[in-house]
Structure 1
Amino acid sequence: MTEPLLPDLPPERVPGPAPLADAAALRGAGRTPAVPFRVTLADGRTLVMTRLLRVLPGKRIVGDSLLDGRRVLAKLFVDKDSARRAERERQGIAALAAGGIPTPALVAADALPGGGHLLTTEFLDGATTLLDHWRPLAERPPGDAAALALLAPAFSLLGRLHRAGLAHDDLHFGNFLVHDGRLYLIDGDAVTTANAPLASKPAARDLAMLIAQLPRTWDGALTPLLDAYCDGGASTLDDAVLARALRHERAWRLRDYLAKTGRDCTLFRVRRSLHRFEAVVRSEADALTPLLADPDRWIESGRSLKRGNTCTVARVELGGRQLVVKRYNLKHLGHAISRAWRPTRAWHSWREAHRLSLFGIPTPRPLALIEERWGPLRARAWLVTEYCDGPDMRAHLEPDAAPAPAEAASLKTLFDTLYRERISHGDLKATNLLWDGNKSLLIDLDAARQHATIAGFHRAWRRDRARFLRNWPADSPLHRWLDAMLPGRP
């Protein structure tokens, strides 16, 4: 992740001498060390860090800094392995430069008095990440011309990397920088060297890592990107080798990402106590603070969408933004006891929404989860998501006609992806599919699951398929179109 965590001070606005910090103080500073601060190098020079870009608590701090009056990107390694980590970063940057791979130039590398190490590179003012440019295009159809024009240079650069006998252990869109029309690869710590050109297996692993950043709906549109990779000078990969690497990478990425949704990390802020568990998308934590403090008050003052025995749903407005808060109720003592030892339905919906998002299956963005707890026992729970201001498919689709082209394409992509990934919904009423004007969004994920076995999935899918078709008369044109379109037709 290369986005700034905090809108801190630019170098030209640092107000006077910054407080001095050392490795021990920075290790104990947590996720948000106060800036600006300065550190003294072993050679007596001083670096002033003015803006945080990334913090791995107790390990590494990356930020916009000043060294000898020059603006630099500084990485402070402050844990017990700082010497090894800093040296690996330095060697990786040198290997990239020697291989002709554009990367910000090394400025200085030095030890810090009392422990810790520093490495600085040139600061590319105004640089953006490939991820910044990809986000506005992520929901476009697979193979979209603008998306291909953006992504092809990254695949070509990867081909150049492999031709030089180099591999990269952390290939994601955030590790590509765009500056003055040129693409740079960063994070020397992840670079490893081998014989040139790179062997087939590690090359396939790297390529799979980059492909895995795309929605799986892109699987049929990868040819231009693979061509760009080969045009960069890489050897052509065996399709079977790449397919195995891609399955492995996607499985690992899914496990890693879902694990992060329940622990404190760069992406999520998690707080635990004897009586409460709270997980929130870190970038949303400050904005959601009033709602998280008392979700029931916001539900009562919001617009009611559903008031049932098992759940209460309301639309609320916070900071000019429309959100949905769903509370999972306990009907009676017996219900409370039966649920106490199991993950709450809010927890399940939270994880499944993130799973769907990772697969490129549209669903309102999950923002926060709250659970009442009594030690290991769980009680009520709340889920906060973005609000979709659009009709459900029962109201939107006309029974006497096939869907319009946009709706037809969106529904086909959604159901094909669910089928390919062995995901069943469990309650596939038409009211659980919304239309936002561009795409179909799946909601109410309490019973959604990804199946480990084909047989189990097919049983669940037949129920989902039949339930969705029952929304419209069997002799209607819409029913016939859906029956022909939905995968898994008997």
Structure 2
Amino acid sequence: MITLSGLQHWCWNDAGPFSLDMDAGRLVAEDVLRHLPGKRLVVRGTWQGKSVIAKLFFNDSKAAGRNEYSLLETLAAQGVCVPEALALLEQDNHALLLMEPVLGAGLDELLADGVDLPLLKSLLDTVWGLYKAGWIQTDLHLGNFLVNGDGEVVCLDAGAIKPVPSRGAAALADNLALMCAQATLALQAPLIQECLHFMKHHGVRSRDFEERCQHALHRRMVQADRKSQRNCSAICVESTKDGVVYSDRMDRGATGSWLAYCEKPEALPLLKKGSRISVYANENWVVKHYREVGLKARLKQKMKCSRGMISWRQGWLWALLGIPTPRPVMLVEFIRGERAGTSVIVFPKLESIALSQLMEQQRSRAQGLAEDVRRWLEHFLWAGISHGDMKAQNILVNEADKISFIDLDGAGFSSRARWAQVKNQKDKLRFEKNWEQFQ
């Protein structure tokens, strides 16, 4: 039988379906939604046969569970649309909060394919309603809102909803800047414009709002870059006899296969062989082997800036920002033995062809797709992002004419405007030269 104390000591790899017996009944957890080992665990499951969302608070000395339960009741009484709080159960120093599941779609999903202005207006009206009721969502991002079957915007994560600070409207403006920064990169410009109209309508000071959004975006990018290099809910980091393995936790069943590809990439069909880099692939995965050795390569690994590590870090960052790219699923950095200095990285294989091929064979189609690339380059300039080798061979196109960027081992980002301008100009020139090369 699993107890709350037992769950507290779960490690990352233990998170999975379980049953928890309490004095008042049994919780059957089916899916783990969020796991902060030793602190929080959020699951979807059933309580006494009823579907629930359960939030477990471990060593809850500050009564966060009780406070969140009370806050949900208060917000509901004030007319704010939040999940219904069903019960709060306490055991020793731990707490279990049970909530009614909300049926609907997340705003991040609904806005993934394009801008929906009425939906954005509904979101901002909800944020304003919270503010007028004396509350502010301190973790304001699209993933913390759902649209239910009645078309209402539901506020999630009540634990991040706090009283409006003494700064008042200035705090609201900062909060909206955080929301824009946490949206996908392509959505940020229209979202910023909607926020500016919203603040003007409600008399909220909006001077320097775009700069604040940009600053919040850079801070988020730095945090995400650091997170991709450590053990967390999305990424598993393990030491082995020869080095360090970074892997995606989302598909644990494939981890063994990925590791076998990294240990012996040459067992797969060869796609491309270079003096320092070889690329292999099967029907599902692409494996890139960086064969750099020597003192310089080992120093780069120690500083976490080998080409394999850069590709890993940038792949996760770009995917987080909604930039189309195949997010890597495993990286092995060999830091000991005869392979010290080398890296192997695994990506999902995309059903697509290179834009360079279309430039040669379907010129008009390629010209249409080029406009998508140029739009992304403008987004990159805003965010301070550079691809580093923006050639048509590094842009893939699928049957639906959706583009994806690959080969990010020369990519980077900076908050310095001059750096971004110089790098962006190089990316643009590199891309435009393709029209002469492939004709």
Please classify the TM superposition score into its range, dividing by the shorter chain length.
Answer: 0.7 to 0.9
Mapped partners of 2:27, 2:316: distance in 1: 38
Mapped partners of 1:215, 1:261: distance in 2: 18
**Are 1:267 and 2:234 an aligned pair?**
yes
What is the match of residue 22 of structure 1?
3
CA RMSD of aligned residues (A): 3.4
Mapped partners of 1:258, 1:239: distance in 2: 29
**Are 1:242 and 2:224 an aligned pair?**
no
- Cα offset, 1:385, TM superposition: 1.6
Mapped partners of 1:386, 1:33: distance in 2: 24
Does the 8 Å CA contact 2:359/2:435 hold for their aligned counterparts? no
Residues 151 and 365 of structure 1, relative CA distance in 2, 3 Å threshold: farther
- Cα offset, 1:156, TM superposition: 2.5
What do the CA deviations read for 1:178-202 (whole angstroms, capped 9, x no partner)? Answer: 3323331121211112389x92122
Does the 8 Å CA contact 1:83/1:117 hold for their aligned counterparts? no
Residues 359 and 294 of structure 1, relative CA distance in 2, 3 Å threshold: closer
- Cα offset, 1:400, TM superposition: 11
Query: Aligned with 1:117: secondary structure?
Result: strand
What is the match of residue 165 of structure 1?
134
What is the match of residue 24 of structure 2?
45
What is the match of residue 481 of structure 1?
none
Match of 1:190 among 160, 178, 194: 160
**Are 1:300 and 2:281 an aligned pair?**
no
- Cα offset, 1:303, TM superposition: 3.1
One-letter identity of the residue aligned with 2:131: H
Mapped partners of 1:354, 1:71: distance in 2: 33
- Cα offset, 1:65, TM superposition: 4.8
1:57-206 equivalent positions in 2, closer than 5 A: 57-67=37-47, 70-79=50-59, 81-112=60-91, 114-124=92-102, 126-135=103-112, 137=113, 140=114, 143=115, 147-181=116-150, 182-194=152-164, 199-206=168-175
Does the 8 Å CA contact 1:168/1:191 hold for their aligned counterparts? yes
Does the 8 Å CA contact 1:23/1:115 hold for their aligned counterparts? no
**Are 1:423 and 2:404 an aligned pair?**
no
Q: So what's the TM-score if we normalise by structure 2?
A: 0.85
One-letter identity of the residue aligned with 1:88: N
What is the match of residue 55 of structure 1?
35
- Cα offset, 1:262, TM superposition: 1.2
Query: Aligned with 1:473: secondary structure?
Result: helix
**Rg comparison, structure with higher value:** 1
Query: Aligned with 1:237: secondary structure?
Result: coil
What do the CA deviations read for 1:298-320 (whole angstroms, capped 9, x no partner)? Answer: x3343322111211101223xxx
What is the match of residue 209 of structure 1?
178
Q: So what's the TM-score if we normalise by structure 1?
A: 0.77
Mapped partners of 2:368, 2:230: distance in 1: 38
One-letter identity of the residue aligned with 2:269: R
- Cα offset, 1:413, TM superposition: 0.7
Query: Aligned with 1:251: secondary structure?
Result: helix
What do the CA deviations read for 1:57-85 (whole angstroms, capped 9, x no partner)? Answer: 11122234555554433222122x35422
Which runs of no fewer than 5 residues in structure 2 stay unpaired?
none
Does the 8 Å CA contact 2:236/2:247 hold for their aligned counterparts? yes
Query: Aligned with 1:239: secondary structure?
Result: coil
Does the 8 Å CA contact 1:423/1:451 hold for their aligned counterparts? yes
Does the 8 Å CA contact 2:292/2:341 hold for their aligned counterparts? yes
What is the match of residue 404 of structure 2?
441
Residues 228 and 87 of structure 1, relative CA distance in 2, 3 Å threshold: farther
1:245-256 equivalent positions in 2, closer than 5 A: 245-256=212-223
Query: Aligned with 2:342: secondary structure?
Result: strand
Query: Aligned with 2:250: secondary structure?
Result: helix
Number of paired residues? 433
Does the 8 Å CA contact 1:344/1:378 hold for their aligned counterparts? no
